[in-house]
Structure formats: structure tokens, C-alpha cells
Amino acid sequence: MASTYVKDPAPAPAPPKLPDTGAGRSRARRIVDWLTAFSFTLPALVLFGVLVLAPILYAVYVSLFNWGGFGSPSDYVGLDNYSRLLRDPVFLGDLWRGLLLVLFSVCVQLPFALGMAVLLNQKLRGRALYRTLFFAPYVLSEVITGVLFSMIFAPEDGLADHVLGAVGLDGLGGLWFADQDYVLPTLFLVMTWKYFGFHMMLYLAGLQGIPAELHEAARIDGAGPWQRFRHITLPLLGPTIRISVFLSVIGAIQLFDLVWVVTQGGPDHHSETMAVTMFQFGFKRFEIGYASAISIGMFLISLVFALIYQRSVLRRDTEGALTTMRASR
Amino acid sequence: MSASTRAVTSVFGASSSSFSRRRFLGTASAVGLGAAGLSACSDSGSTTDSQGRTVVEWWNIQTTEPSKSVWPERAKAFEAAHPDVRIKLVTMENDAYKSKMTALTSSGKLPDIYHTWGGGVLKQQIDAGLVEDLTSSISSLTGTLVPASVKAYQFDGKTYAVPFDIGAVGFWYNKALFAKAGIQAPPTTWADYLDAVKKLKSAGITPIALAGKEKWPGMYYWAYLAMRIAGIDGMQAAADAKDFTGDDFVKAGEHLKELVALQPFQKGFLGAAYSTPTGEAAAMGNGKAAMELMGQWAPVVQADAGKGIGKDLGFFPFPAVAGGKGAQTDVFGGGGGYAVRKGAPKAAVDFLKFFMSAESDRILVSKSSMMPVVEDATSALTDPNLKLVSDALGKATGFQLYLDQAYPPAVGQEINDSVAALIAGSKSPEQVTRSVTQVAKSQ
């Protein structure tokens, strides 16, 4: 598969050799180099340690206790919270709903965003207006989006039902967010409305990087629009698509604010996500130990996905960049 | 306006009360909020000011008018009569107060006088030895109070706080819609109640508005049914034994299922919030539903979220259940009170006695729209709807505090959750009692 930039096929250039002035000297030099590097990265390391590592480790620690957040944790229960997690129908449901949202996002939302991007990349009257319009929802805060759509899909007098009624359709009679079967699709609709503009922008940026000459050459060779899309646009958009899938999946795993504002996970847990369950247990029930176990679960799922994705899918894009894997080998 | 803000406070007090009130510290301390809370209490150690007056710190949550001015005015009035005392008001917003108090509680140093909702949180503080037993020092006051108002602050026959506000939950109904459906008088038994629901249904009226999204309004039905069937003592026994699997609680769920089977709620109720323009209160306020089971703040929120139905609004207590151990006069509700820290200056108790004197309570009722707590102050109440609530409280034969305040937060939330599942049809009455018991036992 080709790439938007020309990759360097040769190994990364080796660091310039220091003049060899004796083993002891070079060793001292290396230590000094190491210390210099260390002292420059220290502030970042400290911040990372205090703000990222320490809370994660603390959450792991707390997740081993049955703790109400009162005083310090003392009721050690080992891995009980985790075994409870694996038997909790709500959490297992969260996993299933998370998977559905990820699949929906990747199979519906992203292709839709790509289609819009390709359309808006053409010479079109009012192109800038459309781009702004479609990107606008992404700028709105999630809470505002939530409030807005809970009015649009309101049980009585909701805009959605009025509009559908006006064109002769029945609508859902206000059951959008209020029915166990409709709530997840409706939520996904809102998510798509909110996020497709962002992915569209990513794709647009990617599309701008595809040289027009390639399309022109293909056209001269007799390639039709679909062939050109399939064999030029799609491959050259590869890195962008891979990043956008990554962001979309991580976003779906961590989805919280929108759900909280619109349904609080209801009706009867049918729109609950892992983050909502975690919030319920942590801040409503004050079962901090169990909530920590949920958050560790979320963390592990995100981490495993990120690592696998990074190593297998994003690898070809990151090679040659700062975190080159080939050079380290 | 003042009444509406107070209503909102009450709503939060009743519903999401467990949010951060109790144990926010656990999460807060992780990010260092706890440290801020702990350092803040060091100044409550000093008890005299530069002029040698005894300083009494009074932590309250009256951030909105008119209470915001009435409270300092009460403090000034007390200081005028007691020149050697200075009442220092520390006024905080509801949620900020809850999280700060959690930090203070675990540090072991509370303010001299502080706001409490009673129930489980106060019990925790008492068990930690932080709260002054007021039984004998306010004995002269206790007799003058509406008995139901003190219940939330009494444990093992001892009183630990002075109430200043009290409310109750009951049915708010639309008289015009009831008349239209041919219902002569508000139902007094559960069977009559179900009949009334059927009549409303067949008259094409939505019988009940319910905020299914928020879960706590649905919990009121189960709680009241459990109270009517098991009685207040039965509720207490179940809470003490951490066992809600008894027949009485299963029956409560079955009766609620009978109601749900009639499909009495407004369309899309599972997604409806309480106080939004498309929520439960609005459905009542716009005359689209015939009744709702709600606390004393209901009329204000109805008028705020909807248009309000004015004189058509009526109130009746939750009906009795045939064969149940509870009476129709048993009341479910909650309020606000002031507790005193162990070792606080004597002036703190003196001030509370002054604050809740009949004369002072009359001022709170008329100026601050509090519900009367002192029996003699009841006459100061003019709002006809609040009078009905006040009457129900005055006649109360038993009082049950809001379950999410009476029980640990996890248990309260599990009741909300399970009852919501029962109403949505995914849990049986037995499953509700089992899951509540399971959570109660784990606490």
C-alpha cells in the first residue's frame, strides 16, 4: 500500500560517531549525556508520574478493597471486585453495548464521514459553508448536545416527531430515548451527528494531500470514478483512516457525558456505558472499590486495544516518525 | 423565586442527596481536595475573637434569598441579646457543603453548628463520637416541635439535632381532571386508588406523571407501599437486619406491579426527567396528567417547569393497603436540621433554642418559606398547598426518612435502580428485594 509521504526505505541514519578518545572518557561522556537527557525529561516524567501513573496505581490499590470512601481503605477483599465485575450483568451489558457502538461507529459513521469528505472535496458551490456546518456540531459541548437532543426527541411535543409527522411518517411517538430497544440507535444517531464532522475534517485534510496528478494520470489510463476512489483515494487516505478509526473506538469506549445528560444510562440500563456504570458506583453509591475495579477494566480494555492497534495497524504510519520501531531494532 | 430555589434544594436533598454528601472524600482525597478540606477546619479551633466574645461557627446552606438574609438577621438578633457571643455564619452551596463536610468528618473536627439531613450520615458522625447529644439540653424545646420533624435526628431515644424545616411526600392531584373522570373523593385505599387510575384511564386522561429517567420518583411508590404494608417498625427492622426479603417487601413490589400493569404513566415516561419542560412536573403543571407522587416542593416546580394548575391542585396522602401494618397517617419525607459538634461552646445550643423558638420559627415560615417545625408557628403558614402538607405532618403517626438518606447511599441507589427495573418490567418483586438485601449486606 502506498503512503502519503515517501518513506525512507533505508534504515535511519546512525548517530554521528564521537571521536574515540579512550574507553573511560567515552563512558563518562555517556553518563553525562544520560544525566543531561534525564534532567531535561525530569519535569515531564514527574508530571506524568504524579498525574497519570500515581492515580492509576492508586486506583489499582483501591480496587482491592471494599471501600465507601470514608476514612482510609481497610476492608481488603482481594480480587472480589473483579470477579463481581465479570458476573455483573450491567457491566457485561456495557461491554456488549460498547462493542455495538464501536461497530456502528466504524462501519456506519466513518464511511458516512468519508463520503461527505469526498463530496465536499469537489468543486461545489457553498463548499466552505457546508464544511463549517457539518463541523459545527463537534464544537458544541457534549452537555449542550445532550440537552438539545433530549428536547428534539422529547416524549411529548418533540421536534423529531413533529417533523416526521409533517412528512406523513409516524415517528416513534416520543419513545426515542424512552424505549429500551430504540434508545441505543437513537443515541448512536446523536453521536454520529456530533462526531462525523470531526472525522470528515480529518478526511478532508487527508484528501488535500493526495496529488491531483495521480487522479489525472488514472483518468488518462481510463479509470472510472469508483476505480480512482478505490485504488488512489482510499490507499492514500490510509493513515488518516487508521487514526480516525483509533480515535473513534477510544471515544466509544469512554463515552460518558452525552449518555449521562440524555438518559443517565436508562431506561433500565439499556444505554449504559462502562463510564456511566463507573460513575454510578463511584459517585452515587460510593462503592469506590468496585468503581475503581470498573475503571481499571476500562483502562485495560483501552490499553490492550491501543497497544494492539499501535503495533499492528498504526505501525506502518509511525515508522520513520519520532517513535520509530525499526531504528530501535 | 425564593420558594423555587428552596424547592430545588429540597429536590436535591431528596433525590441526589447521596451525591458527594457522604463520602466524597474518598475520591476527593485522591486529587488533594481532602487536604484543602482538612486545612480549612483549623480555624474552628479558636473560640474567642479579639473582643473576647465566644465565637460560634454556624455552617449553613442558605445561599438563596430570602433565607440568605433571614439567617444573618437571626444571628444578629441573638447577638443583640447575648453581647458576649458572636455567631459566625459560614454559608456554602449545597454540593460544596456536602463534600467539605465529608472531609471534616473524617478529620474528626466539625463546625460548632452545622446543617444535617439526619439519617445515615448523622448516625455515622454520632458513631464517630463527633456529635453532641442534645437530648437534655433542648428538652424544653422538644415538646414544642412537630414530632415528625425531629424523627430523622433521633437515635436510640436520643436527639442529636434541632430541625428547622420538614417536608413530606404525597399525591398531588388535578381536581378538575379527577372530577372529569367522575372520581368523587381522593382514594384512601390502594384498591380505590387502582380504581381511580382505571377511571382516569378510561376517561382518556393520563393518570400519573412519572420521571422514569431519574429513578427516585418511582422509588417513592415502592417505599410508601412498603411503609403501608410493613409499617414503620417493619422498615426499621428490615434496615437493622439488612434483610428486605420479607413477604411485606415482596408484596410492596407486587402492588406496584399491579399499578404498572394498568399503564398509568405518561407516554415515554421511561425517558422523562423530573423538572425539565418535558418532564414529570411539567406534565402536571400543564394539566396533562392527573397526579404525581412528590414532596412539598411539587407545586413550585410544577409552576416553574409548566404553567401550574393553581386552584385545581390538591393533595392527598398515600392510600392505605388492606391488611397492612402501616397507617395512612404514616408519613414519608425529610427536612433539614442543625447538629452541634461535641465540645462546642454552650452558646451554640442557646442559639439553636433561640433560633427555633416559636417566635423565630414564625419568622422563618413567613419570611423564608420554611415549613413550620414549631407547632405554634403553624399559623404563620398561608400557602394552602403547604398547609395540607403541614397538616399531614402534624397528624403523622409515624415518620420514615427518605430511604436514600436513611440508608447508606449504595442501598438507597440499589432501591432506586431495582424499583426502576421493576417498573420497566425487567425485575420481579422478589428480585428487587433480593438485590436490595444483597447490597445492604455488603455494606
Q: What is the pLDDT of residues A141-156, one digit of tens each?
A: 999 999 999 889 887 7
pLDDT of B405: 79
Contacts of B268 (CB under 8 A, 6+ apart): A154, A155, A156, A173, A174, A175, A177, A178, A179
Same domain? For B178 and B203 the reply is yes
pLDDT of B14: 39
* Beta-sheet strands, E only, within chain A: none
Same domain? For B258 and B157 the reply is no
H helix runs in A11-68, sequence order? 23-48, 54-62
Q: Does A317 touch chain B (CB under 8 A)?
A: no
Residue A264, phi-psi category: left (phi > 0), alpha (psi -120 to 50), beta (remainder): left
- Which is higher by pLDDT, A68 or A230? A230
> Among A103-112, A155-164, B194-203, where is mean pLDDT lowest?
A155-164
Sort out which chain B residues have CB atoms less than 8 A from A177's CB and list them: 268, 271
Q: Does A297 touch chain B (CB under 8 A)?
A: no
* Dihedral sign (CA B19, B22, B28, B32): positive
- Which is higher by pLDDT, B124 or A2? B124
Taking residue B376's Cβ as centre, other Cβ atoms within 10 Å add up to: 14
User: Among A69, A175, A266, whose Cβ lies nearest the Cβ of B23?
Assistant: A69
Same domain? For B408 and B275 the reply is yes
pLDDT of A75: 87
Q: Tell the burial category of A96 from Cβ atoms under 10 Å away from its Cβ (0-12, 13-18, 19+).
A: exposed
Same domain? For B311 and B434 the reply is yes
SS3 at position B289: strand
Q: What residues of chain B have any CB closer than 8 angstroms to a CB in chain A?
A: 16, 18-20, 22-27, 30-31, 102, 105-106, 124, 212-215, 266-273, 276-278, 283, 288, 408-410, 413-414, 420-421, 424, 426, 442-443
- CA distances for B154 relative to A63, B294, B295, B403, angstroms: 35, 25, 22, 16
pLDDT of B196: 96
Same domain? For B201 and B143 the reply is no
pLDDT of B20: 36
pLDDT of B32: 38
pLDDT of B3: 39
Number of domains in chain B: 2
Same domain? For B247 and B287 the reply is yes
Reported as a single tens digit per residue, the pLDDT across A245-272 is 999 999 998 899 999 999 988 888 999 9
Please answer whether residues B337 and B152 qualify as being in contact, where contact means their C-beta atoms are separated by less than 8 angstroms: yes
Q: Least CA distance to A291: which residue of chain B?
A: B27
End-to-end CA distance of chain A: 23
- A63 is written with which cell numbers? 480496587
SS3 at position A168: coil
Same domain? For B12 and B37 the reply is yes
Beta-strand pair B170-174/B289-294: antiparallel
Residue linked to cell 417498573: B423
Same domain? For B150 and B195 the reply is no
Same domain? For B273 and B295 the reply is yes
Q: Does A285 touch chain B (CB under 8 A)?
A: yes
Q: Which segments in chain B show pLDDT lower than 50?
A: 1-46
Residue A226 C-alpha from the chain's centroid: 29
pLDDT of B382: 86
Q: Could you tell me what percent of chain A has a pLDDT over 70? A: 88
pLDDT of B113: 96
Residue linked to cell 489510463: A221
Cα separation, B57 vs B351, in Å, equals: 11
Q: Does A283 touch chain B (CB under 8 A)?
A: yes
* Range A85-102 average pLDDT: 94
| Residues paired with residue B113 on neighbouring β-strands, in sequence order | B58, B340
Interface size, chain A vs chain B, as Cβ–Cβ contacts under 8 Å: 126
Q: What's the CATH code of the domain at B414?
A: 3.40.190.10
* Range A83-102 average pLDDT: 94
Q: How far is the alpha carbon of A109 from chain B, nearest alpha carbon, in Å? A: 25
- A72 is written with which cell numbers? 482510609
**Residues in chain B, total:** 443
Same domain? For B104 and B130 the reply is yes
User: Which helix (H) or strand (E) element contains residue B85?
Assistant: strand B85-91
Please answer whether residues B216 and B412 qualify as being in contact, where contact means their C-beta atoms are separated by less than 8 angstroms: no
Contacts of B341 (CB under 8 A, 6+ apart): B109, B110, B111, B112, B113, B114, B130, B131, B132
Interface of A with B in 139-178 (CB under 8 A): 150-151, 153-158, 173-178
Q: Could you tell me what percent of chain A has a pLDDT over 90? A: 62
User: Among B267, B410, B424, whose Cβ lies nearest the Cβ of A286?
Assistant: B410
Confidence of residue A22 (pLDDT cuts 50, 70, 90): low
Same domain? For B159 and B253 the reply is no
- CA distances for A265 relative to A62, A156, A262, B144, B356, angstroms: 25, 20, 8, 46, 43
Does the structure's ipTM exceed the value 0.85?
no
Cα separation, B443 vs B438, in Å, equals: 9
Farthest-apart Cα atoms in chain B, separation: 73
- A158 is written with which cell numbers? 418533540
Mean pLDDT of chain A: 86
Cα separation, A240 vs A200, in Å, equals: 11
Q: How far is the alpha carbon of A183 from chain B, nearest alpha carbon, in Å? A: 9
Same domain? For B178 and B160 the reply is no
pLDDT of A286: 81
Domain of residue B409: give its range: 170-331+403-442
Cα separation, A151 vs A165, in Å, equals: 16
| Contact flag A156-B278 (C-beta cutoff 8 Å) | yes
B411, B397, B420: which is closest to B168 by C-alpha? B397
